[in-house]
Amino acid sequence: MLQALDVTFKRSERTLFEGLEFTIHPGQKVGVVGKNGVGKSTLFELVLGNLHAEVGDIIVPGAWQICHLAQDVTPSGRGALDYVLDGDQELRRVEKALADTDPAHAPERAALLHARFADLDGYAAEAKAATILHGLGFSDAEFQQPHEAFSGGWRIRLNLAQCLMTTADLLLLDEPTNHLDLEATLWLESWLKRLKGTLLVIAHDREFLDRATSHTLHIDAAKATLFKGGYSAFERQRAEMLARRHNLYVKQQRDIAHLEKFIKRFRAKASKAKQVQSRLKAIERMPQVARVHLDTPYTFTFEAGKMSHPLISLRDVDLGYADRVVVAGIRQSIIPGARIGVLGPNGAGKSTFLKCLEGTLEPLAGELLRGRHASVGYFAQHQLEELDGQASALRHIQIAREAWREQQVRDYLGTWGFGADLVSRPAASLSGGEKARLVLALIALAKPALLVLDEPTNHLDLDMREALVRALQAYPGALILVAHDRSLLTRTVDDLWLIDGGQLSVYRDDLEAYSASRTVVDNATTPSKPDASKRAKRQAAAERRAALKPLTDQLRQLESEIEKVTPELKAIETRLADPDVYRSTPAAELDETLKIAAKLRHRLQNAEHQWLEVTEQLEGL
């Protein structure tokens, strides 16, 4: 088993771990979670032996083979398939020994090596490596391309593939989904479920953690607590634990106040000196319960300026590049308030479509019409590297808002989690998550009518993802979103578009059904299940959707009611806000107008109240 025994570790003057203890048993799949900077990656370095605790020990069984997902390695000239096969080091050693052994001179050694090769499933190794590469989005044509020919994100995929090829007893994965799309994330979940070894994975994707892990190791305040279950189960258990601690804190403060009241009243009386001293000692002996703090550092919003209707119309649009069409015949319009998630397999053309909406890629054919007020806020991973590396976050915002005072800039950056220690640091020294927050902050400044977001949650921690969900839910403009984070998609989009087979279509089912349709189980490595089981799962999913339909229908009706009443009420309230109306309007007409406003206000409040109730019911189900 893997154990941490009373571990204390400091980095510079900061204590990351103090009295850290946990035990992870063989075969457990553990999600490692906690706020940015609490020491999750440092824990991996301690397990690997690259760092050493000042006090205590990290105990790893000596016979365990460990594989760690490297986020950055020296480019290699090895072909992609060979690079992945290198992950099975024992198999490579046997292959080399076989190549160096002449069967004519050492027949017994050759026979033993062939037997060992078979035991290691060497004859199926290439098929296994190909399965992994396909699952992570590589095509057959890319198998022989050298590792160094791929971009940074795809090299990380190759590093992940190499890790999955190992027969390691302990697999350490640090943010494995950061460079994956939804299809590759779904495939990785199914692969990790079948993993026989022990898994520690750092991730900020709650859906992925729920499906791929059996336990959650939460790091907070230099300690670690192991919870049973995935991330959702951890959240429930921790909420209950914090509620109990809060209640205990409130009770203790009440007891202390009672004792202090007695002390204050009778401190000056000699006859009560003994009782006063007794109560003072009682307060000293109390184990102090800390106040529960659940504050988030993120309080940002997205606003929209003027919006045309429609914002963008695409009429028989073909998209692609000079040598080929990627998506053909697009006929869609994007209107204010639209909430659209774009689905599709890797390479289908999702990013191509988003570039067209942003304006950096012109259609090959057809007509794309933009409204007069249709500004686009576009987020993609490459923008993180396009920041001025020498300029601070403060300077980036000052350039965008020259009229703002420095304190205004600092206050704005504070809503995005940039404290005094971060605002003046060069962008080049910021982490991936900090760069992503800065890019989003710059986009929000422009108050775009349309947000086009391509994998915005890469590198973002769970608190920031939650804040992003809230901001997008309140955003009045249109949203087009590509993301592998299913929680983000489920909670922020109303409609799904699918790009597949060179066509863009409206996906009529929900995200759960899409995920189920894209989850591929490799028959070569997993025992096949009877078709009856698959039918039963599909039937259960259909029954669940049918059970939810009355609530989802009611939700749509309430949303229509809110959308209808809101502008009517706003128009009347705008009129009533004019003092001249009260002087020039006849009393009977004014009275009737006030009555209509009251009725509309009541309808809106009632609809919003019901909407909240139905939403809570759906979330509970």
pLDDT at 526: 38
User: SS3 for 527?
Assistant: coil
Concatenate the DSSP letters of all residues of 362-388 into one string: --SEEEEEE-TT--EEEE-THHHHTS-
Task: Provide the pLDDT confidence category of residue 377 given band limits of 50, 70 and 90.
Answer: very high
Sign of CA dihedral 180, 65, 123, 524: negative
* 440 Cβ contact list (under 8 Å, min separation 6): 300, 379, 416, 456, 468
Locate 366 and state its tokens. Answer: 């057809």
Choose among 457, 493, 499, 487: nearest CA to 473: 493
Reported confidence tier of residue 218, pLDDT bands at 50, 70, 90: very high
- Residue 520 has a pLDDT of 46
Q: How confident is the model at residue 272 (pLDDT cuts 50, 70, 90)?
A: low
Determine the pLDDT at residue 517. Answer: 81
Report d(CA 141, CA 312) in Å as an integer: 36
Alpha helices in 228-319 (DSSP H): 231-266, 273-285
Listed residue (373, 372, 334) closest to 356, CA to CA: 334
Specify the pairing of strand 215-220 against strand 223-228.
antiparallel
Q: What is the reported pLDDT for 527?
A: 35
Average pLDDT, the chain: 85
pLDDT above 60 for 528: no
Q: Report yes or no: 353 and 376 within 8 Å, Cβ to Cβ.
A: no
Coil, helix or strand at residue 312: strand
Backbone φ and ψ of 481, nearest 5°: -130, 130
Q: Which residues pair with 482 in a beta bridge?
A: 454
What pLDDT is attached to residue 280?
A: 72
| Greatest distance between any 2 Cα atoms in the chain | 115
Q: How far apart are CA 189 and CA 185, in angstroms?
A: 6
Low-confidence winner among 153-167, 219-233, 334-348, 602-616 (lowest mean pLDDT):
602-616
CA angle 2, 63, 99 (to 5 degrees): 140
| Residue 372 clears pLDDT 60, i.e. is over it | yes
Do 334 and 478 form a contact (C-beta atoms < 8 A)? Answer: yes
Q: pLDDT at position 574, please?
A: 77
pLDDT of residue 618: 63
The answer to whether 266 and 275 are in contact (CB under 8 A) is: yes
Residue type, 25: H
Of 82, 117, 84, the closest CA to residue 99 belongs to 117
Whether the predicted pLDDT of 70 surpasses 60? yes
DSSP notation for 2-63: EEEEEEEEEETTEEEEEEEEEEE-TT-EEEEE-STTSSHHHHHHHHHTSS--SEEEEE--TT
Mean pLDDT of 480-503: 92
Asked which of 146-155, 338-347, 598-607 is least confident by mean pLDDT, the reply is: 598-607
Q: What is the mean pLDDT of residues 38-42?
A: 89
User: Quick one: three-class SS letters along 228-244?
Assistant: ECCHHHHHHHHHHHHHH
**What's the pTM value of the predicted model, to 2 decimals?**
0.68
pLDDT category, 254, cuts 50, 70, 90? confident
Specify whether the CB–CB gap between 516 and 486 falls below 8 A: no
pLDDT band (50, 70, 90) for residue 399: very high
- For 250, the token pair is 């409130």
Q: Which of 441-450, 568-577, 602-611 has the highest mean pLDDT?
A: 441-450
CA 8/CA 18 separation, integer angstroms: 4
Q: What is the pLDDT of residue 108?
A: 85
> Among 89-93, 204-208, 572-576, whose mean pLDDT is lowest?
572-576
State the Cα–Cα distance between residues 238 and 216, nearest whole angstrom: 11
Phi/psi at 38 (5° precision) = -80, -15
In this predicted structure, what is the pLDDT of residue 525?
Answer: 40
- Cα separation of the two ends of the chain: 37
Q: Within 10 Å of residue 194's Cβ, how many Cβ atoms?
A: 11
Main-chain dihedrals φ then ψ at residue 176, nearest 5 degrees: -70, -20
Name the token pair of 139.
């095509």
**547 falls in which pLDDT band (50, 70, 90)?**
low
Q: Give me the pLDDT at residue 314, please.
A: 94
**What does the pLDDT read at residue 592?**
79
3-state SS, residue 216: strand
Which range (426-430, 502-506, 519-523) has the least confidence?
Answer: 519-523
pLDDT band at 369 (very low <50, low <70, confident <90, very high): very high
Rounded to an integer, the average pLDDT of 216-242 is: 86
More confident residue, 452 or 542: 452
Give the pair of three-digit tokens for residue 407.
Answer: 């304190």
Q: Is 557 helix (H, G, I), strand (E, B) or coil?
A: helix
Residues with Cβ within 8 Å of residue 158, at least 6 apart in sequence: 80, 83, 84, 147, 150
Please name the residues in contact with 545: beta carbons below 8 A apart, sequence gap of 6 or more: 510, 513
Q: With beta carbons less than 8 A apart as the criterion, state whether 245 and 25 touch.
A: no
Angle, in degrees to the nearest 10, between helices 432-445 and 406-415: 120
Say which residue the tokens 């009856």 belong to. 532
pLDDT attached to residue 192: 92
Q: What is the mean pLDDT of residues 614-618?
A: 66
Determine the Cα–Cα distance for residues 493 and 478; give it in Å rounded to an integer: 10
What does the block give as tokens for 331?
A: 């006929």
As beta bridge partners, residue 425 has none
| 3 state SS for 304-331 | CCCCCCCCEEEEEEEEEECCEEEEEEEE
Q: In the chain, helix, strand, coil percent, each to 5?
A: 50, 20, 30
